[in-house]
């Protein structure tokens, strides 16, 4: 989902949210804000683990709910039991032990993104926001989730959802010939 310009909430203004599949035992609608990098390195997310001391990877702000808890979005050809499938070969996990182990084993070039916190709504709350024009629904794509530069993600997806009008071409009338 892509916030529309009328959204003024500082957490969601010009944000792109990856909506997660519903979980039967959780009545809330959950998502992760994709385009808010932080300056928080892995060593601060997992301070007890010296493995991350010299890593330059940083977490993204996933949303205002439970901002100390990590979540991870990653590609995998095999569905891990500690994660849920977002779409295709993209998975999400909020299991801290799994995330820490995954990051320790991650190899160069492996696609993943770490988040702190999450966004969540009551179903009727989100439906009201959508009906009120706060959000556009845009299909998720892995290449956009893992893009190195998230600077233009909101603008790119906003333009997909609401293309700018094409200039109206005025042809000379038959009478002016």
**What is the per-residue pLDDT for 150?**
84
What is the rounded CA–CA span in Å between residue 168 and residue 47? 58
Candidates 67, 61, 93; CA nearest to 79 is 93
- Predicted confidence band at 173 (pLDDT cuts at 50, 70, 90)? low
- Predicted confidence band at 115 (pLDDT cuts at 50, 70, 90)? very high
What is the rounded CA–CA span in Å between residue 6 and residue 13? 8
**How large is the C-alpha radius of gyration of the chain?**
20
Domain of 63 in residue numbering reads as 2-176
Stretch among 34-48, 52-66, 161-175 having the lowest mean pLDDT = 161-175
How many domains does the chain contain in total?
1
Contacts for 22 with CB less than 8 Å, ≥ 6 apart: 29
Q: How far is CA 145 from CA 11, 28, 166, 168, 171, in A?
A: 18, 22, 29, 35, 43
Give me the sign of the Cα torsion angle 147, 148, 153, 159.
Answer: negative
**What is the per-residue pLDDT for 84?**
93
Tokens found for residue 111: 């696609």
What is the rounded CA–CA span in Å between residue 142 and residue 102? 18
How confident is the model over 9-29, as a mean pLDDT? 88
pLDDT averaged over every residue in the chain: 87
Please say if the pLDDT value at position 170 is more than 90: no
CATH of the domain at 34: 3.40.1740.10
């Amino acid at each position: 989902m892509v916030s529309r310009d009328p959204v003024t909430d500082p957490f969601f203004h010009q944000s792109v949210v990856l909506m997660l599949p519903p979980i039967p035992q959780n009545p809330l609608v959950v998502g992760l804000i994709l385009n808010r990098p932080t300056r928080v390195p892995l060593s601060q997310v997992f301070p007890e683990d010296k493995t991350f001391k010299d890593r330059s990877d940083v977490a993204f702000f996933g949303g205002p709910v439970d901002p100390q808890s990590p979540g991870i979005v990653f590609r995998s050809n095999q569905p891990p039991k500690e994660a849920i499938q977002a779409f295709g070969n993209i998975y999400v996990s909020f299991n801290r032990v799994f995330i820490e182990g995954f990051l320790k084993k991650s190899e160069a070039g492996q696609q993943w993104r770490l988040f702190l916190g999450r966004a969540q709504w009551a179903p009727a709350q989100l439906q009201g926001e959508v009906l009120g024009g706060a959000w556009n629904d845009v299909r998720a794509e892995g290449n956009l989730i893992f893009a190195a530069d998230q600077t233009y993600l909101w603008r790119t997806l906003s333009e997909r959802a609401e293309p700018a009008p094409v200039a109206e071409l005025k042809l000379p009338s038959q009478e002016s010939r």
